[in-house]
Amino acid sequence: MITHELLPQASAGRPGRVIVLNGTSSSGKSSIAKELLDVLEDVWYHVPIDRFHQMRARREWTDEAFLPVFQKTVLGFHRAVAGMAAAGNNVVADYVLGERWRLADCLDVLKDVPVLLVGVRCSLAELERREAERGNRTIGRAAMQFPVVHQHGVYDVEVDTERNSPRECALMIRDRLAAAPPTAFDQLRRR
C-alpha cells in the first residue's frame, strides 16, 4: 500500500550534495554526468542547463529581447538545483559558468549546499571537431565560451576529456568527492 505521508528521512532537513560540471559546449559534461550516475553511491540526479533552455517556448527573439529571458532561465536553473539539494537530493549539474554574474549567483544560491566544482577541459581544436561532428550544436559556441568558462580558476578537481574517457573522468570525480570536503566554492566566496 502506498502512503501519502511524508517519510521521516525525506523531511530530515539535511541538504543533498551538488557536483557542478563546468566546461564549454561539447566538452563532455553530459557524458561524464551519465557515468557519474552509474559510479556514485546513493541516488543522484543529472540536471543539465540545456534541458531548461529546451523547456522554454520557441520564439523569434531579437538579441535585446532574448537577453532577459536567457538570464531568467539561468537564474531559475540555479534555484532548481538548490531546491533539489535543499530537499535532500544529490545533483550533478552540467553547466557553463561563462559570465561572472552566473558564478556570483551560484555562490549565493548554493551557499548552504556542499558543492564539488569540477573543471571539464578539452583543447579548442577537439571542441571544434566534436561540435562539427555532433551536428546539433551551433558552430562556434565552444570557441566563444573557451576563453571565459574557466576564468575564475579554482576547482576541486579538473578532468581532461581529450585524454580520458567519460568513465575515467567520472571515477576521478568520485574519488575526489570521497577524499575530502569540497573547498572551491568557499575559496571563490572569499575573493
Active site residues: 50
3-state secondary structure at position 17: coil
Q: Quickly count helices (H) and strands (E) in the chain.
A: 8, 5
d(CA 160, CA 128): 15
What secondary structure does DSSP assign to 122-153, as a single string?
A: --HHHHHHHHHHHSSS-TTHHHHHTTTTTTT-
The C-alpha cell that represents 5 in the structure block: 505521508
